[in-house]
Homo-oligomer: A and B are copies of this chain.
Amino acid sequence: MPYFDVASAAPLHPVARQALQASLDEGWADPARLYREGRRARLLLDAAREAAADAVGCRPDELAFTPSGTHAVHSGVAGALAGRRRAGGHLVVSAVEHSSVMHAAEVHAAGGGGEVTEVPVDRTGAVSAAGYAELLRPDTALACLQSANHEVGTVQPVAEVAEVCAAAGVPLLVDAAQSLPWGPVEGGWSLLAASAHKWGGPAGVGLLAVRKGVRFAPQGPADEREFGRSPGFPNLPAVVAAAASLRAVRAEAEAEGARLRVLVDRIRRRVARLVPDVEVVGAADLRLPHLVTFSCLYVDGEALLHELDRAGFSVSSGSSCTSSTLTPSHVLKAMGVLSEGNVRVSLPVGTTAEEVNAFLEVLPRAVASVRSELGLPGAPAAPDAGAGEVTVDALGLRCPQPVIELAKAMGRVAVGGVVTVLSDDEVARLDIPAWCAMRGHDYLGETATAPGPSYRVRRTH
């Protein structure tokens, strides 16, 4: 029963389990106390901090343990912005940051004087250093960039962006949640956040590194623990387990990364061949070793996940179709790629070729099964047959139906003819242009009409 969603959460690493159990006896007391139980706890905490700092590539006194990666991001963004309040209230983030960064940015924008600018990405999900350089201003207080994307695996040019930021005197906060198990983040970053349960550490532990010299003003109620950067009683056994397992996964990272990279390459190649109407998204080379994402036309993502789950595979999705909010993944949206029928596969350490092969065997059947329940488009009309204009009323229909209706209507217009789709589904805005790009038809744009926008597409072949 393979679990292919470590980008969400990894099963506990054996070293984490050992360290956790060992420190339950030694690490429950308050490390701030002077009696022997407190001193023992302090020794464990200090050792864990040294090990984690070594893996991050910073000094122990630059590294605070937080209750989660989300807390590390929230505290890091708020503290860095407050520390640079005199410079201004401008925050720059990439358009594909994790939701924890986006939500921290929203709070900043909602506060007095806060302004947020998003750096666009290319179709692989990558930013460019030039993209940051363009947006940095004298009043920019902070820039944020992930080391690698959590949905599509694309690795970002952190070192180059850090140079651009340093030249502008702007600190750079790196969300390293997805890449830290694979190696330290290169380049001159100023702050770094990460999350232990992404590398097989326990839940309940995040890391926040703040380089010496970076202006930082912790927000919220005062608390002297963790250099004043993370309130609350320290979660010591979990912290010890997090540090020990980070060291352990790092020891395996090179060999295991190379092995998983081959498996992911195989998935990228085979999925494109085995599944009709699929788009493999994200960078092919500059990517995390273990993660691949693809979207399937005419597929209800949630139904596909259920189908794969029934077949024994646990995968994830950025598809709008799986979300209760019915809004598409902001990452896929920023990339301008198809979001429907989206599947993210992220392989845990130790995944075998057999497991991947089994997945590749199951997947095409699962996609076909899900598609068979929807009315799929038939053969298109001959190039010169059919109408010149067709309007499709897809109001009230949800992803992937509007795109299916479009594809069907395309079969009813002649080459050069135009299909207009009326759709109030937020996802259509993303998936209709993506479908056009995949199919090679001309996307003519969107018009604001009531009760929902209309999208126009010209048949080209």
**What residues make up the interface of A, taking CB atoms closer than 8 Å to B?**
1, 3, 5, 8-12, 17, 20-21, 24-25, 28-30, 33-38, 67-71, 74, 100, 103-104, 106-107, 195, 197, 202-204, 206, 220-223, 231-238, 302, 305-306, 309, 314-316, 322
Contact = CB atoms under 8 A, between A and B. Distances in A.
Contacts of A1: 36
B103 A232 contact: no
A195 B3 CA distance: 33
Contact of A68 (B197, B222, B233, B316): B233
A314 B35 contact: yes
Q: Which 5 A-B pairs have the closest CB atoms?
A: A68-B232, A67-B67, A204-B235, A35-B314, A103-B221
B306 A220 contact: no
Nearest to A305: B34
B12 A24 contact: yes
A103 B228 CA distance: 12
A27 to B, nearest CB: 8
30 contacts: A3-B37, A5-B35, A8-B30, A10-B28, A11-B28, A12-B24, A12-B28, A21-B21, A28-B202, A28-B203, A29-B314, A33-B316, A34-B322, A35-B305, A36-B314, A67-B67, A67-B71, A67-B232, A67-B235, A68-B231, A69-B232, A70-B233, A71-B232, A100-B221, A100-B223, A106-B222, A202-B235, A202-B238, A203-B237, A238-B238
Nearest to A234: B203
A190 to B, nearest CB: 20
A17 B20 CA distance: 11
A49 to B, nearest CB: 16
A106 B236 CA distance: 28
A328 B24 CA distance: 33
Contacts of A306: 34
Contact of A8 (B3, B33, B68): B33
A107 B233 contact: no
A211 to B, nearest CB: 23
Contact of A220 (B28, B67, B74, B238): B74
A231 to B, nearest CB: 5
Given A67-B67, A67-B71, A233 B195 contact: yes
Contact of A29 (B9, B37, B305): B9
A231 B104 CA distance: 11
Contacts of A235: 67-68, 202-204, 235, 238
